[in-house]
Amino acid sequence: MKYLLALDHGTTSSRAVVYDCELNPVASARREFAQYFPKPGWVEHDAMEIWESVVGTGREAVAASGIAATDILAVGITNQRETVVLWDRETGRPVHRAIVWQDRRTEDYLAALRECGKESFIQDRTGLLADPYFSASKLHWMLREIPDGHKRAANGDLAAGTVDSWLIYKLTNGREHVTDVSNASRTMLMNLQTGTWDTEMLSLFDIPEALLPKITPTSSLLGASAAEWFGVPLSITACVGDQQAALFGQLCTSPGMVKCTYGTGCFLLKFLGENIARSHNRLLSTVAWKLGESPIQYALEGSVFMGGAAIQWLRDGLGILRSAPEVNELAGRVQTSGGVILVPAFTGLGAPYWDASARGMLIGMTRGTTSAHIARATLEAIAFQVTDLVTAMDKDSNHPMQLLRVDGGASASDLLMQCQADLCGVQVERPENIETTALGAAMLAGLGAGVWKSAGELHDQPNRMTLFTPAITAKDRRGRLKTWKRAVRRAQHWEQSL
Ligand code: ADP
């Protein structure tokens, strides 16, 4: 029997899963890593800790599976996207903490670009909106911050990239500096049409090309890990952004299919195929994947910054939960939020608002409000935000969504999923295995290693689903969405309403 190893590096934890070639998980390991918040709106990770957590969980999962490393056919890497690492090529050590996708420190810089009228140019070239979310402005900031940054970058003394390129660099002991096209499409430096670094975007952000990795297909032979990490060299045959991995893991491989992942943030992606669709409702055009030499496939995406992270805030910020899953018991104690509304704009608002200046708001409390109402309002807030994405996606399309496939840690909540079905007015389908990110990476690695000849062969995998059906009236839905919209407007204009 041969096996596939998925290395799934998320925003808050790294996971590794060993799958057999029928895609049954055999063993897994997981490790959380530190989050750094040096200033309001700033979020950083220690890139060495990222690397150690990935290689550490990889080794633990292989040891727990009891298989010999020689039986691992291939490795697939999937990762938090947009987060940037900058390191010294000579020493292989980071020269700054990684700046995380949630970080807003470059908002003023991007606001200046928007004021100069660059937004439509950026959108046209990259499919993205001029927001601090993406890698380019973060890398620009780092190069200015470190001594002689630009000089060292132009000389080729430094290397940079999204986390996938850092992990492959470390796994191959510095032999490969590559990134796949799905990750590169999130940097704001790649030309969406051609799948290559765009010289005008590089010059707009003043980033020398010598700093950046080579862009490769998502699924193909990307390199081999050095023998010291797993005992033998292992072929790395897939590298893919986490949301695209989940899209593939959910087998959304026919145009029009949609999934939403409820992790730290929430990410709604619709697979488009070979055609790039341009959104008129502030969604993003992005790369889904590129399988070997076949053409690039695209997706439309909407992202919410505070998804499961809002539940973590109840745990860590308010201290009303000991663990995230407890939110369901607490919120379940009440039938409604009792008029309480949470707009979790703690790091601004993502799609479709793209408002970095919005701030979190908890409103509608009375003397009768309890932690249970706040917990319920938090789950509802996640579902309201995803509903905004579904509405935007429907406006961009001639075919309204019929079914929403869901996955990710917070999709384990039945209460949240029922609320989602109610607010969207569409059926919500949850697979038995909600870890579709790792699964997608394993599938893509298997394709890259020739286990399957095409994605079509993967559709035969059995999967049990739970279905959530809308249970409120259209009138009720409209009323609740109207109230939510008004609350969002307040959170956007909070300074004026003080
Ligand atoms: P990521 O890959 O972004 O690190 P995960 O897919 O692991 O995220 O999901 C973690 C998120 O899911 C956390 O933010 C947590 O609050 C939430 N979560 C985990 N278990 C549950 C649960 N049973 N009910 C509701 N939310 C949950």
Between the CA of 231 and the centroid of ligand 1 the distance, in Å, is: 33
Between the CA of 312 and the centroid of ligand 1 the distance, in Å, is: 8
For the CA of 407, the nearest atom of ligand 1: 6
**Residue list, ligand 1 pocket, CB within 6 Å:** 10-13, 263-264, 308-309, 311-312, 324-325, 327-328, 408-410, 412-413
CB burial of residue 118 (10 Å; 0-12, 13-18, 19+): middle
Reply yes or no on whether the pLDDT at 462 is more than 70: no
pLDDT band at 400 (very low <50, low <70, confident <90, very high): confident
For 154, the token pair is 């132009």
Nearest CA to ligand 1 atom 23: 325
Mean pLDDT, residues 173-182 taken together: 97
Average pLDDT over the chain, rounded to an integer: 94
| 301/98 Cα distance (integer angstroms) | 24
pLDDT score, position 41: 85
Nearest CA to ligand 1 atom 2: 10
pLDDT score, position 494: 86
Nearest CA to ligand 1 atom 8: 263
| Number of residues written out for the chain | 498
pLDDT digits over 206-252, tens only?
999 999 999 999 999 999 999 999 999 999 999 999 999 999 999 99
Reply yes or no on whether the pLDDT at 53 is more than 80: yes
Sequence-ordered strand ranges (E) for 146-275: 158-162, 178-180, 190-191, 196-197, 214-216, 219-224, 235-241, 258-262, 266-273
Nearest CA to ligand 1 atom 25: 410
Between the CA of 464 and the centroid of ligand 1 the distance, in Å, is: 21
For the CA of 312, the nearest atom of ligand 1: 16
pLDDT digits over 198-210, tens only?
999 999 999 999 9
Between the CA of 72 and the centroid of ligand 1 the distance, in Å, is: 29
Mean pLDDT, residues 80-86 taken together: 96
Q: Which residues, in sequence order, are CB contacts of 179 under 8 Å at separation 6+?
A: 161, 162, 164, 165, 168, 212, 213, 214, 215, 216, 239
Cβ pair 106, 141 in contact under 8 A = yes
pLDDT score, position 463: 67
Nearest CA to ligand 1 atom 15: 308
Between the CA of 167 and the centroid of ligand 1 the distance, in Å, is: 23
pLDDT score, position 487: 97
How many CB atoms sit inside 10 A of residue 203's CB? 11
User: Got the DSSP string for 299-348?
Assistant: EEEEEES-SHHHHHHIIIII---SSTTHHHHHHTTSSS-TT-EEE--BTB
Cβ pair 409, 261 in contact under 8 A = no
pLDDT digits over 249-288, tens only?
999 999 989 999 999 899 999 999 999 988 889 999 999 9
Q: Which residues, in sequence order, are CB contacts of 219 under 8 Å at separation 6+?
A: 237, 238, 240, 289, 290, 291, 292, 444, 445, 447, 448
Reply yes or no on whether the pLDDT at 457 is more than 90: no
Mean pLDDT, residues 80-91 taken together: 96
Between the CA of 247 and the centroid of ligand 1 the distance, in Å, is: 18
Reply yes or no on whether the pLDDT at 433 is more than 90: no
Between the CA of 265 and the centroid of ligand 1 the distance, in Å, is: 9
Which of 45, 262, 406 has most ligand 1 atoms within 8 Å of CB, for mutation?
262
How many CB atoms sit inside 10 A of residue 178's CB? 21
Cβ pair 195, 217 in contact under 8 A = no
Beta sheet of 219-224, edge-to-edge order = 25-32, 13-20, 3-9, 72-79, 235-241, 219-224
pLDDT digits over 315-326, tens only?
999 999 999 999
Query: Phi-psi bin for 382: left (phi > 0), alpha (psi -120 to 50), beta?
Result: alpha
Between the CA of 444 and the centroid of ligand 1 the distance, in Å, is: 24
Cβ pair 11, 163 in contact under 8 A = no
Helices 414-424 and 371-395 meet at what angle, rounded to 10? 40
Q: Is the dihedral of CA 81, 240, 262, 163 positive or negative?
A: negative
Reply yes or no on whether the pLDDT at 189 is more than 90: yes
Mean pLDDT, residues 163-189 taken together: 97
CA angle 101, 378, 383 (to 5 degrees): 75
Nearest to 9 by CA among 45, 63, 62: 45
CA angle 130, 84, 18 (to 5 degrees): 120
Which of 244, 267, 311 has most ligand 1 atoms within 8 Å of CB, for mutation?
311
Find out whether the peptide bond into 208 is cis, omega within 30 degrees of 0: no
Which of 264, 380, 411, 435 has most ligand 1 atoms within 8 Å of CB, for mutation?
264
For the CA of 328, the nearest atom of ligand 1: 24
Cβ pair 150, 202 in contact under 8 A = no
Between the CA of 293 and the centroid of ligand 1 the distance, in Å, is: 35
Which of 413, 415, 430, 439 has most ligand 1 atoms within 8 Å of CB, for mutation?
413
pLDDT digits over 122-164, tens only?
999 999 999 898 999 999 999 999 999 888 988 899 999 999 9
Between the CA of 76 and the centroid of ligand 1 the distance, in Å, is: 22
Reply yes or no on whether the pLDDT at 398 is more than 80: no
Between the CA of 57 and the centroid of ligand 1 the distance, in Å, is: 18
How many CB atoms sit inside 10 A of residue 272's CB? 19
For the CA of 413, the nearest atom of ligand 1: 24
Reply yes or no on whether the pLDDT at 185 is more than 90: yes
Reply yes or no on whether the pLDDT at 25 is more than 70: yes
Reply yes or no on whether the pLDDT at 461 is more than 80: no
Q: Which of 133-142, 209-218, 408-417, 462-471 has the lowest mean pLDDT?
A: 462-471
More confident site: 401 or 374: 374
Reply yes or no on whether the pLDDT at 98 is more than 70: yes
Tell me the C-alpha to C-alpha distance, in Å, between residue 173 and each of 84, 93, 188, 226, 427.
19, 12, 27, 6, 47
pLDDT score, position 456: 83
pTM of the model: 0.91
Reply yes or no on whether the pLDDT at 460 is more than 70: no
Q: Which amino acid is at 50?
A: I
Between the CA of 342 and the centroid of ligand 1 the distance, in Å, is: 18
- Supply the DSSP symbol for 460: G
Between the CA of 263 and the centroid of ligand 1 the distance, in Å, is: 5
Nearest CA to ligand 1 atom 18: 410
3 state SS of 394: helix
